[in-house]
A = this chain, B = another copy of it.
Amino acid sequence: MNKTIAKGAATALPLNTILDGDCIERMASMPSNSIDMIFADPPYNLQLKGQLHRPDNSMVDAVDDEWDQFSSFGVYDHFTRAWLKEARRILKPNGALWVIGSYHNIFRVGSALQDEGFWILNDVVWRKSNPMPNFRGKRYTNAHETMIWASKSEGAKYTFNYEALKSLNEGIQMRSDWVMPICTGHERLKDANGDKAHPTQKPEALLHRILVGSTNPGDVVLDPFFGTGTTGAVAKMLGREYIGIEREESYRKVAEARIKGVRKFDREALQVSASKRAEPRVPFGQLVERGMLRPGEELYSMNRRHKAKVRADGTLIGDNIKGSIHQVGAHLENAPSCNGWTYWCFKKDGKTVPIDVLRQQIRAEMQN
């Protein structure tokens, strides 16, 4: 019954559309536990005083739009808590939130989301390879922005495509600092006058990494501060469903046209390196049942220091110890745990071969 309701609610979501209006109100009308991931790029509360000039006296086109003005931290905090509360409600239990901000607002946002019950998984730094210099030489070049990645609550599961991210980084575990250029050139959207269509357009590369790492194809991604639709554009490319909320009509129009021109990558390209954890479980006993290993046959530890005999029920027996391949390995190594599949080897034609090779054989057969 629950399932039916949830499903009905989920199919009622306005997938792949850009909603008009205030994001708090719009989210309030969405069903609970229905969104896989939320990417939010809220107003930064920049509080820029006066105008900023470059050394050559040209003027810097700063973010001074009406939507970025908050009269005090209190007002900003109130707004922040309100949208975070709705965001958390509509997120699936195993969903996740990404927020981006600068030092002007990120500490408010981070505190607020912790207070609302989100559980921070990482903070990630976007290190800009081409930031705007500090023209007056009064501070450090503001060369980064901060993102927070959080699950709905402590202990919740979350999507993390570890292997895919590792592949993106040439085989090395992805770190919490990402080097990427700011959005310029052809990617930067212009309005009819040739001015930039949005003051803080985010690079698609940033969203690419976030979506590949934290969602799967078919997942629903919501962006409550849609702007000119970078989230939607990248979601479409990557075969994810998007929902945008944006109150400025001009931004919505630009986003609409932009996403229309985006093509989804073909299915094969969307396949991503899978984790071993996703592979089907093979009981060691199957190797014995199939005759790949025979009862009484001896296995040798990787380090050649120990051996044990295979028994008909798929357990091992060694010196003073009986049990699974993992238990016996852990006991012999005096370790808290042991992966028996990679620990034990058998002899074949005089060579020593890890038993994991046999597991892979079985898995390959299962594919067919």
Contact = CB atoms under 8 A, between A and B. Distances in A.
A272 B133 contact: no
Nearest to A172: B283
Interface residues of A, number: 105
Interface in A160-218: 160-165, 167-177, 179-181, 187, 203-205, 208-209, 212
Interface in A131-178: 131, 133-134, 137-144, 146, 148-149, 160-165, 167-177
Given A110-B103, A208-B289, A57 B336 contact: yes
A129 interface: yes
A344 interface: no
B265 A167 contact: no
Nearest to A160: B138
B204 A291 contact: yes
A100 interface: no
- Residue with the greatest number of chain B CB neighbours at <10 A, chosen from A129, A149, A333: A129
A104 interface: yes
B107 A269 contact: no
7 contacts: A107-B110, A107-B114, A125-B144, A144-B177, A167-B324, A169-B283, A270-B311
Given A125-B127, A130-B368, 12 more contacts: A107-B107, A107-B148, A125-B125, A137-B173, A140-B149, A140-B174, A168-B313, A265-B295, A268-B296, A268-B309, A269-B311, A270-B312
